[in-house]
Structure 1
Amino acid sequence: MTPRRELTVLVAADLISNLGSRVSVVAIPWLVLETTGSPAKMGVVAAAETLPYLLSGALGTPWADRIGLRRTSILADVGSAGLMVAVALTPWLGFGALVALVAVVGTLRGVGDRVKHVMFRPAAEAAGVRLIRLTSVYDGLGRMVTLLGAGLGGLLIWWFGVTQAILVDAASFAVCALLVGLLVRPPAPPAAPARPEGYLRALAGGFRYLGHDRMLLTMLLVISALNMVVNASVAVYIPLWVAEVLRSPAGLGLVLGAFSAGALLGNLLFTAFGPRLPRYLAFVVGAAVSGAPRLLVLALSEELAVVLAVTFASGIGIAAVNPLLGVAIYERVPAELQTRVIGLAGSLAFAGLPLGALLGGWSVTALGLVPALLAMTAFCLVVTLLPLLPGLRPRPAAAPAERQPRVVGQA
């Protein structure tokens, strides 16, 4: 198999696994609702997967380096497949067992997702694919998977029932493990030292590097803040604005859809023109456009057309943010530290998600919807403009040229 096809298989395997996970995001809460009738327990199950996912993605990576990235990916997916079969076929075990099974799946997924992302860089280098192209295409495909997964989960539950929907997630993990096991052969890693690093020393090396790279750390804090704003908007602000202003649930789908549509268009534009843009400036502008304006328009306008237009533009802005962070990590972090740093970076970036819904609900309760939106707008604007501070701007040498060779005729 050619290196380019091997890269395609690796990316496809990761997206298939993610598609199954998006199905289970809908199916597992529905299973809890069917078996317990408790909305509170639905939230407990969601948290039981999310928290281990964040922790294992950061704390499990030193073991992944020692076991081997490819082997870790396969083991994580095989284990996740088996556990999801158990979730689907043994609802009689009770709620406590379900929480435990889902927590272990979250732990395995956190490590498995991170190591696949580490494998992207050597696969891209071997294929002669520019990292900026890879990260932008992957971001766009990931957004499409997110959009399709939730809808597919609902349809599968409707057509076949919740058990079969969860089994689809199990099958997606199994397919991912097979693809990586049979068709992906990453380049040989550098020779390991005679005495492997201890776990704590290896983990500390990742923290130390991330703490010293102020530019990368700032980019991660910006994305974490944007994730917090997005989750607060989806969970609290937009539904309340729709209920108070439009008084029709149809508006909720329009506003959320406008952001997703803008993100997809933005990804197409960034994939085509992103490599020609100044990266750091594009990151700052994309982050600033994607956050504060969509909050401010909800606070100041009651016109749906205006809100949709600004939300759509914010979606275009977000399309530059994740790919530029991805390529910055691949290019700036030494190869021997990438597993640990990518794990820590992913957990830090996603940390804003659980905080967002909590902060959104608290702010509206304490201040009211419009003041809460204005306060969050100010916070978001300050955070997204942090990278412009003189001490956090990259030096000219901090944006290295692509390390991989260009193939003849490559765009």
Structure 2
Amino acid sequence: MTPRRELTTLVAADLISNLGSRVSVVAIPWLVLETTGSPAKMGAVAAAETLPYLLSGALGTPWADRIGLRRTSILADVGSAGLMVAVALTPWLGFGALVALVALVGALRGVGDRVKHVMFRPAAEAAGVQLIRLTSVYDGLGRVVTLLGAGLGGLLIWWFGVTQAIIIDAASFAVCALLVGLLVRPPAPPAAPVRPEGYLRALAGGFRYLGRDRMLLTMLLVISALNMVVNASVAVYIPLWVAEVLRSPVGLGLVLGAFSAGALLGNLLFTAYGPRLPRYLAFVVGAAVSGAPRLLVLVLSEELAVVLAVTFASGIGIAAVNPLLGVAIYERVPPELQTRVIGLAGSLAFAGLPLGALLGGWSVTALGLRPALLVMTVFCLVVTLLPLLPGLRPRPAPAPAEREPRVVGQA
């Protein structure tokens, strides 16, 4: 298989795995609703997958380095498939067992997703593909998967029932494991010392590097804040605005769809023109456009057309943010630290998601919708403009204080 086809296979496997994860977000809570009838337990089982996902993506990466990236990816997908089959076929085990199984799936998915992203760089370099184009195309395809996943989950439940839907979901993880196991052979790592590292030393190496690279850390904090704002908007602000102003659920779909459509168009534009843009400035502008304006327009206008136009433009802006962070990590972080740093970066970036809905609900309860939107607009604008401060502007990537030895078993 040619390097370019191998890269395509790796990206396809990751996207299939992500599609399965999106389907499970719909199917598993529906299973809980059917078996328990409790909305509270639906929320609990969703949280049971999210928290281990965030933790394992950061804390499990030293073991992934020790086991080998390709092997870890295969094991994570095989384990996810088996656990999802158990979820579907053993509802009689009770809610506690279901929560435990779902938590294990979340932990495996966190590590599995991170190691695939580490494998992207050597595969892209072997294929002669620019990293900035890879990260942009991947971000766009990931958004398509996110859009399709929830709808596909609902359709599978409707067509086959929730048990069969979860088994089909398990099959998606098995397909991913087969693709990586049979068709992906990452380039052999360069020769390096074989002295193994202890777990804590290996994990600390990732923390030390990320703590010294203020540019990367600032970009991650901006994205985490944007994720928090996006989740607060989707879960609280936009539904309330639609209910108060439009009084029709159709408007909710239009506003959310406008942002997604803008993001997809933005990905196409960024894939074509992104390599020519000044990267750090493009990141700052994209982050600023994607956050504060879509909140402020809900305060200033009750015209759906105006809200849709601004929201669409915000979606175009967000398309530059994730690809530029991804390429910055690939280019700045030494290869022997990438598994750990990418794991920590993913967990930090996603940390804003669970906080967003809670903060959105609390702020509206305490202040009312429009004051809450104004406060969040100011917060978002300040955070997204932080990278322009003199001390946080781009510098050369820091050299590790102590070169980290490559661990035994690197794939």
TM-score normalised per structure 2? 0.96
1:197-276 aligned within 5 A? 197-276=197-276
Describe the superposition over 1:95-140 as per-residue Cα deviations: whole angstroms up to 9, x where unpaired.
1010000000000000000000000000001000000010000000
Deviation of residue 49 (structure 1)? 0.2
What CA RMSD, in Å, does the superposition of the two structures yield over aligned residues?
4.7
Q: 1:401 to 1:57 in 2, by over 3 A?
A: closer
Number of residue-to-residue matches in the alignment = 411
Q: Is the 8 A contact 1:130 1:406 kept in 2?
A: no
Tell me, in whole angstroms, the C-alpha distance in 2 between the residues paired with 1:33 and 1:310.
Answer: 37
Is 1:406 aligned to 2:396, yes or no? no
Describe the superposition over 1:236-291 as per-residue Cα deviations: whole angstroms up to 9, x where unpaired.
00000001111111110000000000000000000010000000000000000000
Q: 1:295 to 1:190 in 2, by over 3 A?
A: same
Tell me, in whole angstroms, the C-alpha distance in 2 between the residues paired with 1:407 and 1:132.
Answer: 28
Tell me, in whole angstroms, the C-alpha distance in 1 between the residues paired with 2:77 and 2:408.
Answer: 36
Tell me, in whole angstroms, the C-alpha distance in 2 between the residues paired with 1:330 and 1:226.
Answer: 21
Tell me, in whole angstroms, the C-alpha distance in 2 between the residues paired with 1:293 and 1:222.
Answer: 16
Query: Greater CA deviation, 388-397 or 164-173?
Result: 388-397
Tell me, in whole angstroms, the C-alpha distance in 1 between the residues paired with 2:196 and 2:366.
Answer: 52
Q: 1:164 to 1:192 in 2, by over 3 A?
A: farther
Describe the SS at the equivalent of 1:410. coil
Q: 1:353 to 1:335 in 2, by over 3 A?
A: same
Deviation of residue 404 (structure 1)? 22
Tell me, in whole angstroms, the C-alpha distance in 1 between the residues paired with 2:76 and 2:185.
Answer: 17
Q: Is the 8 A contact 1:128 1:405 kept in 2?
A: no
Q: Is the 8 A contact 2:288 2:381 kept in 1?
A: yes
Q: 1:282 to 1:113 in 2, by over 3 A?
A: same
Q: 1:397 to 1:44 in 2, by over 3 A?
A: closer
Tell me, in whole angstroms, the C-alpha distance in 1 between the residues paired with 2:119 and 2:93.
Answer: 37
Q: Is the 8 A contact 1:270 1:319 kept in 2?
A: yes
Describe the superposition over 1:313-338 as per-residue Cα deviations: whole angstroms up to 9, x where unpaired.
00000000000000000000000000
Q: Is the 8 A contact 1:227 1:349 kept in 2?
A: yes
Tell me, in whole angstroms, the C-alpha distance in 1 between the residues paired with 2:279 and 2:400.
Answer: 11
Q: Is the 8 A contact 2:45 2:102 kept in 1?
A: yes
Tell me, in whole angstroms, the C-alpha distance in 1 between the residues paired with 2:127 and 2:289.
Answer: 34
Deviation of residue 396 (structure 1)? 7.1
Tell me, in whole angstroms, the C-alpha distance in 2 between the residues paired with 1:239 and 1:91.
Answer: 33
Q: 1:282 to 1:408 in 2, by over 3 A?
A: farther
Deviation of residue 195 (structure 1)? 2.3
Deviation of residue 405 (structure 1)? 26
Query: Greater CA deviation, 237-246 or 395-404?
Result: 395-404
Tell me, in whole angstroms, the C-alpha distance in 2 between the residues paired with 1:129 and 1:401.
Answer: 31
Tell me, in whole angstroms, the C-alpha distance in 2 between the residues paired with 1:399 and 1:301.
Answer: 49
Tell me, in whole angstroms, the C-alpha distance in 1 between the residues paired with 2:409 and 2:303.
Answer: 49
Deviation of residue 190 (structure 1)? 3.1
Q: Is the 8 A contact 1:128 1:404 kept in 2?
A: no
In the other structure, the counterpart of 1:88 is 88
Query: Greater CA deviation, 43-52 or 391-400?
Result: 391-400
Identity among equivalent pairs (%): 95
Q: Is the 8 A contact 1:294 1:310 kept in 2?
A: yes
Describe the SS at the equivalent of 1:197. coil
Describe the superposition over 1:204-259 as per-residue Cα deviations: whole angstroms up to 9, x where unpaired.
00000000000000000000000000000000000000011111111100000000
Tell me, in whole angstroms, the C-alpha distance in 2 between the residues paired with 1:231 and 1:305.
Answer: 22
Q: 1:392 to 1:11 in 2, by over 3 A?
A: same
Describe the superposition over 1:11-40 as per-residue Cα deviations: whole angstroms up to 9, x where unpaired.
000001111111111111111111111111
Tell me, in whole angstroms, the C-alpha distance in 2 between the residues paired with 1:239 and 1:45.
Answer: 23
Q: 1:309 to 1:327 in 2, by over 3 A?
A: same
Q: 1:408 to 1:166 in 2, by over 3 A?
A: closer
Tell me, in whole angstroms, the C-alpha distance in 2 between the residues paired with 1:203 and 1:88.
Answer: 35
Q: 1:20 to 1:315 in 2, by over 3 A?
A: same
Q: 1:402 to 1:272 in 2, by over 3 A?
A: farther
Q: 1:399 to 1:212 in 2, by over 3 A?
A: closer
Q: 1:343 to 1:297 in 2, by over 3 A?
A: same
Q: 1:55 to 1:397 in 2, by over 3 A?
A: closer
Deviation of residue 189 (structure 1)? 1.9
1:7-406 aligned within 5 A? 7-395=7-395
Q: 1:401 to 1:149 in 2, by over 3 A?
A: farther
Tell me, in whole angstroms, the C-alpha distance in 1 between the residues paired with 2:76 and 2:150.
Answer: 23
Tell me, in whole angstroms, the C-alpha distance in 2 between the residues paired with 1:37 and 1:307.
Answer: 37
Deviation of residue 168 (structure 1)? 1.5
Deviation of residue 169 (structure 1)? 1.3
Q: Is the 8 A contact 1:17 1:169 kept in 2?
A: no
Describe the SS at the equivalent of 2:397. helix
Query: Greater CA deviation, 163-172 or 399-408?
Result: 399-408
List gaps (5 residues or longer) in structure 2.
Answer: none
Deviation of residue 395 (structure 1)? 3.4
Q: 1:405 to 1:152 in 2, by over 3 A?
A: farther
Query: Greater CA deviation, 285-294 or 299-308?
Result: 299-308
Q: Is the 8 A contact 2:195 2:405 kept in 1?
A: no
Q: Is the 8 A contact 1:131 1:402 kept in 2?
A: no
Describe the SS at the equivalent of 1:409. coil
List gaps (5 residues or longer) in structure 1.
Answer: none
Tell me, in whole angstroms, the C-alpha distance in 2 between the residues paired with 1:400 and 1:240.
Answer: 48
